[in-house]
Amino acid sequence: MLGALLPLMFFTLARMVESPGLYLFRFFAGFCLVANGLYLLVDAFQRGGDAGTLLRHGASQWQLFLFSALSAPFGFRLWHNLGPHFGLGAARGTVSIGAAITSASLLAAVVAMELAFYR
């Protein structure tokens, strides 16, 4: 749940300060909502991962379904109309070089942190 709420919180903050790369925050928040919602939905049936842990610790299956039913569609809604920012449609392949460099830098930072802290 934190993996869905934190990106949503950062998106909201970026929106409040009118960040020039707001669509990147929007995309990431949408991705996290979709990924977490669908992951819990599938795992609610298999009970092998986090959903199994949540169920063993007192969560009800209907709560997992409710979270999935709210988070995944909201994530898809956040993605709606983002295509042109990523070079699709009317943008005809044009992507902001600053956004590309920022995204690549953030990816490299995340990979470096993963390698450094989770061996």
Choice among 33-37, 78-82, 94-98 with the minimum mean pLDDT: 94-98
Of residues 68 and 89, more confidence is placed in 68
Domain region containing 12: 2-80
Pair (92, 58) in one structural domain: no
Comparing CA positions, the residue from 86, 88, 80, 98 lying closest to residue 19 is: 98
Same domain, 76 and 93: no
Tokens of 78: 């956040």
Three-state secondary structure call for residue 31: helix
Cα 34 from Cα 56, distance rounded (Å): 24
48 and 91 fall within a common domain: no
Whole-number average pLDDT of the chain: 86
Same domain, 61 and 117: no
Residues 115, 76 share a domain: no
d(CA 43, CA 98): 38
pTM surpassing 0.85?
A: no
Amino acid of residue 56: R
Q: In terms of domains, do 27 and 73 share one? A: yes
Q: How many domains are contained in the chain?
A: 2
Examine the domain organization and report whether 53 and 95 are in the same domain. Answer: no
Between CA 103 and CA 97 the distance in angstroms is 10
Q: Which of residues 96 and 23 earns the better pLDDT score?
A: 23
Lowest mean pLDDT among 67-71, 72-76, 98-102, 114-118: 98-102
Same domain for 75 and 114, yes or no, is no
13 and 69, same domain (yes or no): yes
